[in-house]
Amino acid sequence: MSWKRVISKTNSNCNFSMCLKKAGIISFVVLSLFVIKIDLLAAEEISLTEADSLLLDNKYKQAEDMYRGLVSDDQTGDAYAGLAVALAKQSWPAKIVQAEKILKKAKTNFSDNPNVIAAGGYVSYVHSKTVASPAKRDLYLEASESLCKKAIQANPNIVIAQQTLGLVKMTQDETEAAIEPFRKSVELAENPVNITLLAQALLRLDPKDKEAPELVDSAIKMDNTYYPARLQKAIVLSAQGKNEDAFMELHNIPQSARTHDWSLIEGDIYQRQGDGPAALSAWRETIRQEPHNPDPYKHMAQYYAMRGDGELAIAGLHDALEILPNDMALRQELAELALRQDKLDIAEAEYRTVLASKPDDPNALLGLSRVYFRKARKEGQYPPGWQQLMDQIQTVVTEQNVQGKVIKAGAKDLQESIELSEGEKALAQNHFRKARQHFQNVISNHKNNPYDLLTLGEQAFYDGDLRSAEQAFNYAKEIPEVTSRAEQGMSKIISQRNEAMRQTKLGDATRQMPDVAVDHYKQALIADPQHPNAYYGLYWVYSKDKQADPELVINNALCFLEAADDGNPYRKEVENSLNKIRQRQIKEKNKGKE
């Protein structure tokens, strides 16, 4: 007899006791079915947890198989999301296509599930690495970032969302912004992958970071065969000056696990060992393996710059921008390099390109201001738009400091950009001592970084601040890998100073022919724009000429006082003369009012 028939009969003819009996049977069956369903749900939940654990343990194929067994009964979308990530993690083109198909189906049925959204973010990130077009690459990265942030907003405890957001920021060359999501990933799942990613970001910001070595050792202790952690170990050893140990650590990684990052680090180690050709070969191999990675181009440019081949360095970064035209961090690097080489037109063009994309980027604004100040010093006047630029810088820097937005550039980097801009400004106003203080503050912060020291030394040299350049090169001389390059810098400084002294002596010898003397003194200042005796010579000639503009006397007297040491024997004479000229000007001004 069917349940329908029994229920129907009971409803019309049975007595009360029979109804209770039959109702009890039905309740028991319903309760049994409910318990069975709970057991099935619990079993499914356990299986999903096991699949998630396999995924976190990098057992992607096993995780894929387990997720596949769950998707047919998936009522939430979590199994679909896990399957898409497990497929994409295997990095095979066919698997990535499968992941996209799975994700498309999941989005249709579970569009609001944060795990599905996070999985979409990860698949978009993986897809960004497979496209040739820089524009498409950027679109995939932007989509990945947007999806991950949306998933995190719904549930900040989704590991893959935090991890992917960090990876996207690293790819976009915004390493500092990657630290927070990587830290959160470690808090949620303290495994070798997340720990290594955090260490990698910290080491990219500072190869001598103190926390990173402990993280790397922790990851290796968890899994001795997790080779990305071994790669970071090589970076740590190299930064500690243990290049032989770093080389051994690197070459203990099996051939099958040697990615483009492996070749990049190999090049860095070769460079530190003094083998430039081998370093260039390794970096070129990195480009062959992953042409969309800007790091090898940067490292090659730094190598060429340290070797003194500024033109090759600039050409290398131009080549990189042919492939990555939308990489604003790379453009910023090129602008800084061009400014260092005194290629002001190239620097200005690149800073303007960055600002066209990011109108309020503080470092680009400050870099452009340095170009303007240097042009003003050379040409005697500020370029058009200078005042508007200064107003914009003031607004942007003030707002970012007040609102606490100094994240992308980094508070330290932004402060140094401000210092350099203020130094350029002071030089344009002939405030040599103030400029030197700004430059030397920045130089002191980088006294252990060879590339930065050479960069700052070159910039100070082209700015005409030979004392600051000397300080940078003296620090660099103590670092073996750049000793010869620093000595070349010192040689250029000595050459310029000798020329300035020679021209000044010629000026002193021809003071009876003022025009000839002035020409020699000006030639001396071309060689060394802060040569005190040349300014004294100009002051002396103009002060003896009754037809000379008093401002010429005053300006050269002030420049002499700025450039000369406190013990210079001419200081007292110039100070007294300057006071007399100013008193005379005040009297004449008051007489005119009467």
Average pLDDT over residues 225-240: 93
Predicted pLDDT of residue 12? 37
Measure the N-to-C terminal CA separation of the chain; round to a whole number of Å.
Answer: 128
Average pLDDT over residues 187-191: 92
- The DSSP secondary structure of 211-251, one letter per residue, reads HHHHHHHHHHHH-TT-HHHHHHHHHHHHHTT-HHHHHHHHH
Q: Is the pLDDT of residue 147 over 90?
A: yes
Q: Is the pLDDT of residue 410 over 50?
A: no
CATH (residue range 477-593)? 1.25.40.10
Predicted pLDDT of residue 399? 63
Q: Is the pLDDT of residue 406 over 90?
A: no
Predicted pLDDT of residue 316? 87
Q: Is the pLDDT of residue 37 over 50?
A: no
Mean of pLDDT over the chain: 84
Q: Is the pLDDT of residue 594 over 70?
A: no
Q: Is the pLDDT of residue 24 over 60?
A: no
Average pLDDT over residues 167-178: 89
Predicted pLDDT of residue 34? 37
Predicted pLDDT of residue 45? 56
pLDDT band of residue 105 (cuts 50, 70, 90) is confident
Give CA–CA dist 174/185, Å, rounded. 18
Q: Are the CB atoms for 532 and 571 separated by under 8 Å?
A: no
Q: Which of 534, 516, 413 is nearest to 464 (CA)?
A: 534
* Per-residue model confidence as pLDDT tens digits over 530-574: 999 999 999 999 998 888 888 888 999 999 999 999 899 999 999
What percent of the chain shows pLDDT beyond 70? 88
Predicted pLDDT of residue 515? 92
Average pLDDT over residues 365-393: 81
Q: Is the pLDDT of residue 477 over 90?
A: yes
Q: Are the CB atoms for 357 and 408 separated by under 8 Å?
A: no
Residue with tokens 């005042």: 387
Average pLDDT over residues 181-210: 93
Compare 5 and 156 and report the one with higher pLDDT: 156
Predicted pLDDT of residue 280? 94
pLDDT band of residue 201 (cuts 50, 70, 90) is very high
Q: Is the pLDDT of residue 125 over 70?
A: yes
Q: Is the pLDDT of residue 224 over 60?
A: yes
Predicted pLDDT of residue 136? 85
Q: Is the pLDDT of residue 222 over 90?
A: yes
| Residue 548 backbone dihedrals phi, psi, to 5 degrees | -70, 150
Predicted pLDDT of residue 412? 60
Q: Is the pLDDT of residue 481 over 70?
A: yes
The CA distances from residue 560 to 432, 471, 516, 532, in Å, are 10, 21, 20, 5
pLDDT band of residue 593 (cuts 50, 70, 90) is low
Give CA–CA dist 343/329, Å, rounded. 19
Predicted pLDDT of residue 592? 60
Give CA–CA dist 152/163, Å, rounded. 11
Compare 523 and 385 and report the one with higher pLDDT: 523
Predicted pLDDT of residue 53? 81
Predicted pLDDT of residue 432? 93
Compare 265 and 329 and report the one with higher pLDDT: 265
Q: Which of 168, 233, 165, 177 is nearest to 200 (CA)?
A: 233
Give CA–CA dist 297/135, Å, rounded. 19
* Per-residue model confidence as pLDDT tens digits over 242-283: 999 999 999 999 998 999 999 999 999 998 888 989 999 999
DSSP-derived secondary structure letter, 382: P
pLDDT band of residue 471 (cuts 50, 70, 90) is very high
* Per-residue model confidence as pLDDT tens digits over 569-579: 999 999 998 88
DSSP percent split of the chain into helix, strand, coil, nearest 5: 80, 0, 20
